[in-house]
Amino acid sequence: MKQIVWTLSIALMVVGIVIAQGPATKSPVQSPASQPGPQTVTPQAYPAEQIKAGELRFTSQCGFCHGRDAAGGETGPDLTRSKLVAEDVRGDKIGPLLRQGRPDQGMPSFNLSNTELGAIVAFVHDQKTKFEALGGGRRAVDPTDLATGNATAGQRYFNGAGGCSRCHFATGDLAGVATRYQGLALLQRMLYPSGGQRAPARPKVTVTLASGQTVVAPLAIEDEFTIVVLDPSGARPTYDKSKVKFQIDDPMSAHFDQLGKYTDADMHNVFAYLDTLK
């Protein structure tokens, strides 16, 4: 009996110590989407006509990855919660990003005029302003965004105006593609074949010098005046475009060019056609 009383006393003492200490502190785990996004540093207003033009351009060229309202998709971040957008002032940060891209993250560069770029910037900032007023977290992509195309029209574009059939074949490399990829994964594969999983192989460039010597190497950098290549030693020789002949072989270039040619309808239609290739 004494043993039982002693055991109960010890137990009560332990409970008393625990109560005195209070409950253990545990940091709540919260989803990043539940946290407020960064606020716009420099509030900006744009004409309604410019915002509307930007919406059309953004929807056709950016909407599949970032969502039609810029609030994020399965393969692209929510731009209304982007730190870069929050700190942007009339395109000073968005502009360079769009023109340079982030190939290692699955984002190509875009060849945009100043007017087109300004329109996209206007739309993105307008969307950010609206979402800041509403609050709330990131949404999922609406499935109807991917289910509005016409497969017959997409096949016609694929074999005709789009020029896709010059490199791809429904009964060849694309046979069963809709079985291997579904939904947004298929769409990303269509728009950017590397799938965003890894950086694509560098384009190859063949440079012919004035002496007649030929250099074939991966392309590192190209601008309006120069070409920089990677040689086996790790050096980066630079060539003046005006003093050499050169040819760049980039298998991805046709896909990058196509992004600027697609209309919203063309893009949905081709996706609908590819989705039939089970």
**pLDDT (tens digit per residue) in 149-166:** 999 999 999 999 999 998
Chosen CATH of 38-141 out of 3.40.1160.10, 3.40.50.300, 1.10.760.10, 2.40.50.1020: 1.10.760.10
- Using DSSP's 3-state secondary structure scheme, residue 237 falls into coil
In this model, does residue 13 exceed pLDDT 70? no
* C-beta of residue 262 within 8 angstroms of C-beta of residue 61: yes
Distance from C-alpha of 7 to C-alpha of 111, rounded to nearest angstrom? 79
The residue extents of the domains of the chain are 38-141, 144-198+256-274, 204-250
Distance from C-alpha of 6 to C-alpha of 162, rounded to nearest angstrom? 87
In this model, does residue 254 exceed pLDDT 70? yes
34 pLDDT band (50/70/90 cuts)?
low
Give pLDDT, residue 78.
Answer: 87
* C-beta of residue 227 within 8 angstroms of C-beta of residue 209: no
Centroid of chain to Cα 163 = 24
In this model, does residue 89 exceed pLDDT 70? yes
User: What is the per-residue pLDDT across 165-214, written as a single tens digit (0 to 9) for each?
Assistant: 988 999 998 999 988 888 877 888 888 776 545 555 678 899 999 999 99
Q: What is the average per-residue pLDDT within 71-82?
A: 82
Q: Which of 165, 166, 155, 144 is nearest to 275 (CA)?
A: 155
Give pLDDT, residue 135.
Answer: 62
Q: List 229's β-bridge partners, or say none.
A: 219
Distance from C-alpha of 187 to C-alpha of 154, rounded to nearest angstrom? 13
In this model, does residue 218 exceed pLDDT 70? yes
CA-based torsion, 166, 217, 196, 101: positive or negative: negative
Give pLDDT, residue 136.
Answer: 56
Give pLDDT, residue 102.
Answer: 87
Higher pLDDT, 211 or 220: 211
Q: In what order do the strands lie in the sheet with 245-249?
A: 238-240, 226-229, 214-222, 204-208, 245-249
Q: Which of 121, 129, 118, 124 is nearest to 41 (CA)?
A: 129
* C-beta of residue 118 within 8 angstroms of C-beta of residue 50: yes
User: What tokens does 42 get?
Assistant: 């420099």
260, 261, 269 from 159: Cα distances, Å:
18, 15, 12
Distance from C-alpha of 73 to C-alpha of 58, rounded to nearest angstrom? 13
Give pLDDT, residue 65.
Answer: 84
Give pLDDT, residue 200.
Answer: 59
Query: What are the helix (H) ranges across the chain?
Result: 2-21, 48-61, 63-66, 83-87, 94-100, 114-134, 151-159, 177-180, 184-191, 253-259, 264-274
141 pLDDT band (50/70/90 cuts)?
low
In this model, does residue 19 exceed pLDDT 90? no
If phi over 0 gives left and psi between -120 and 50 gives alpha, with beta otherwise, what is residue 247? beta
